[in-house]
Amino acid sequence: MIQLLLLVSLVILTCILCNRITTKIGVPMLLAFILLGMIFGSEGLFRIPFDDFQFSETLCSVALIFIMFYGGFGTRWKAARPIAGKAILLSSAGTIITALLAGLFCHFVLRFSMLEGLLTGAVLASTDAASVFSVLRSQKLSLKYNTDSLLEVESGSNDPFAYMLTIILLSAMNGTSSQSLPVQIISTAFSQVFFGVILGVAIACAARWFLENFKFETNGFDAAFMLAAAVLAYALPSAVGGNGYLSAYLVGILLGNHSIPNKKSLVNFFDGLTSLMQMLIFFILGLLSYPSRIAAAWVPALAIALFLTLIARPLAIGILMTPMRAPMRQQALISWAGLRGAASIVFAIMAVMGGTALEHDLFHIVFCVVLLSISIQGTLLPWFAGKMEMINKSGNVLTTFNDYTEETDIQFISIQINEQHPWASRHVRDLDLPPGTLLVFLRRDGQNLVPKGDTIIETGDALVLSASAYTGEDDIHLHEVLITQFHEWCGKTVKELHLPKNSLIILIRRGEESIIPSGQTQILMGDMIVINTV
């Protein structure tokens, strides 16, 4: 047990270090996680024997739930609304066309059986939002024509359609007669979409009502509740034949774009969680792989990767976006940005565990395609965006996400007016407020009053001022000093203290009182001194 925990901590720390390195050199971080898994795998340096596809399928499927949920929860609908129609068309019809073209290529060119070829196309049909935006965010690239938002919605919502195709084809390969196959395809597709949408919307509405009417008594329970909602969004539709991933995505996007308490911290929580889930899936992909088997899968994988990148996806994009008069350079970039990732890995593991003997090593084929897609397409994405003149230098890619706020963060401060205060008995219009601050209201005798220019400040008033928040939190280094009876500062005034260079006492906590000190403020025993050091 201890050895396993040590190994897990070592892997996570190494992945974090790899993320820092890959960000600096412009290579997608997920590539490093795959290679790290190979190093720890059965034929790597550490030679950890691991080929448990059943366990991997369970683990990766759970990880994909949170990835899909956050795909919706982190999407900023305000930015995505103008391109929502195009994105949904690409994620549905585009995924189906790509899967069909890739499947036919596998059948007629690579000589796969028809169903196995279509299954291969379905597994590889979806694109990966994390792979794309790990590049865009690390390079701070915003794209013209709202293309970054389009890619975010399309790649976040096309996984459920690839999953539906995978489930249908696995069912067809497990003994369905040719006469009943069309009926089963239609019924499966209907139940997948119907129950996925209906239950997803219902769960989102119920969760939103709960968040609006229930107060969490313990910090962090709101995150636990959202985790439970994400799991329920997948499990309930799946139990009745619906598309759990579609439901999880819908619940995420409906909750993420609704005004709920503590939303920004929830976005940050799920951002960290899904990063860990991505790390887990790609590490397992590398761990399950056998380099000795890659040689046999390399040739068909390279052919499929080239066909997907240069023919299937561009053709699907062209068919759907040309009638909408999308510029050719935008279509070219969307085609190039169709990176394969976590969902393809999970669906490949599902296919291997689907109960049907496959003629080809689908897992290692998908492994090679994902490796090629991330390493070549992902690395060259910034260069390709520049060549297509699609980089919006005045834009901000972060506006695509829900942790971005257009409004300037505001901080509020309170000033208590005593008899000696210089503002006591003065009109509001005569106050010398610092530039960039505003007197928002004053509290007098338990009531909040909106001040006018002729309002007179009275002793006992509490003034509330607003100012723009400082965003460079990394520059602020706070530490506390408890004043005991024998402390050298005890009994002295602030001006008598010999503070270290570039240090300032910014607050004194005295019992229930918080004091902003001046040079005349005396330090007493029991005070907690808060010091900022630049």
User: What is the per-residue pLDDT across 358-411, written as a single tens digit (0 to 9) for each?
Assistant: 899 999 999 999 999 988 998 899 999 999 999 988 776 666 766 554 444 567
Task: List, in order, residues 6 or more apart from 179 with CB less than 8 Å away.
Answer: none
**Alpha helices (runs of H) in 360-455, residue ranges in sequence order:** 362-372, 379-387
Rounded average pLDDT over 70-88: 87
Q: Decide which of 471, 496, 518 is a domain's last residue.
A: 471
What is the domain-level CATH number for residue 498?
Answer: 3.30.70.1450
Burial class (CB in 10 A: 0-12, 13-18, 19+), 164: buried
Q: Clarify whether residues 240 and 322 are in a common domain.
A: yes
- Quick check: 206 pLDDT over 60? yes
Q: Averaged over 213-234, what is the pLDDT?
A: 89
**What's the CA angle centered on 84, arms 78 and 87, to 5 degrees?**
135
Among 447, 471, 495, where does a domain finish?
Answer: 471
| Residue from 78, 119, 122 nearest 97 by CA | 122
Phi, psi of 211 (to 5 degrees): -65, -30
CA nearest 306: which of 272, 267, 275, 336? Answer: 336
Q: 188 and 269: one domain?
A: yes
Query: How does 138-150 read in b/e, with b if 16+ C-beta sit within 10 Å?
Result: beebbbbbbbbbb
| pLDDT confidence bin for 237, thresholds 50/70/90 | very high
3-state secondary structure at position 510: strand
Do 467 and 482 lie in one domain? The reply is no
- Indicate if 371 and 421 belong to the same structural domain: no
Residues 168, 243 within the same domain? yes
Average pLDDT, the chain: 86
- pTM given for the model: 0.76
HSE on the CB side for 333, CA within 13 Å? Answer: 27
Residues 222 and 368 in one domain: yes
Query: Which range (136-140, 265-269, 447-451, 527-531) has the least confidence?
Result: 136-140
Q: Which of the listed ranges 171-175, 385-389, 465-469, 471-475 does the model predict with the highest average pLDDT?
A: 385-389
Judgement on whether residues 524 and 466 belong to the same structural domain of the protein: no
At residue 406, the pLDDT reads 47
Give me the pLDDT at residue 347, please: 94
Dihedrals φ, ψ of 463, to 5°? -95, 135
> Which tokens go with 74?
């982190």
What pLDDT shows up at residue 50? 84
* pLDDT tens string 124-167: 999 987 777 777 776 777 899 989 889 989 998 999 999 999 99
Which two tokens mark 124?
């590889």
φ/ψ of 7, rounded to 5, equals -65, -45
pLDDT at 334 over 70: yes
Say how far apart CA 259 and CA 289 lie, in whole Å: 44
Q: 518 versus 139: which is more confidently predicted?
A: 518
pLDDT for res 530: 85
Q: Is residue 508 scored above 60 in pLDDT?
A: yes
| Phi, psi (deg, nearest 5) at residue 511 | 65, -125
CB 381 within 8 A of CB 85: no
Does position 428 have pLDDT exceeding 70, yes or no? yes
Q: Which region among 331-345, 467-481, 485-499 has the lowest average model confidence (pLDDT)?
A: 467-481
What single letter denotes the amino acid at residue 86?
A: K
What per-residue confidence (pLDDT) applies to 407?
A: 44
C-alpha span between 301 and 291 (Å, rounded) = 14
CA 197 distance to own-chain centroid:
22
Note whether 352 and 435 are same-domain residues.
no
Q: Tell me: do 430 and 394 sit in the same domain.
A: no
Sorted by sequence, the CB contacts under 8 Å of residue 398 that are 6+ apart come out as 137, 404
User: Residue 151 burial (CB < 10 Å; 0-12/13-18/19+)?
Assistant: buried
What band does 310 get if pLDDT is binned at 50, 70 and 90? very high
Q: Which of 346, 381, 400 is the endpoint of a domain?
A: 400
Q: Tell me the C-alpha to C-alpha distance, in Å, between residue 254 and each of 140, 200, 363.
A: 27, 9, 34
Residues 279 and 424 placed together within one structural domain of the fold: no
Both 304 and 430 in a single domain? no
Tokens of 264: 């920004």
Task: Kindly report which listed range (194-203, 310-319, 452-461) carries the lowest average pLDDT score.
Answer: 452-461
| Residues 380 and 303 occupy one common structural domain | yes
Q: Count of domains in the chain?
A: 3
What number is the average pLDDT over the span 491-517?
84
CATH number, domain with residue 333: 1.20.1530.20
Q: Which residue has the higher pLDDT, 510 or 412?
A: 510
What's the pLDDT tens digit per position in 19-29?
666 666 666 67
Token digits of residue 24: 């600096």
Pairing of strands 447-449, 437-444: antiparallel
Report residue 505 CA to chain centroid gap: 38
Q: Which residues contact 71 (CB under 8 A, 6 or more apart)?
A: 129, 155, 156, 157, 159, 249, 252
pLDDT digits (tens, 9 = 90+) for 436-457: 788 888 888 888 888 888 899 9
- pLDDT value at residue 217: 75
Q: How far apart are CA 117 and CA 102, in angstroms?
A: 8
Task: Give how far the C-alpha of residue 323 lies from the chain's centroid of Cα atoms, to the nearest Å.
Answer: 32
Question: Which domain does 129 fall in, by range?
Answer: 2-400
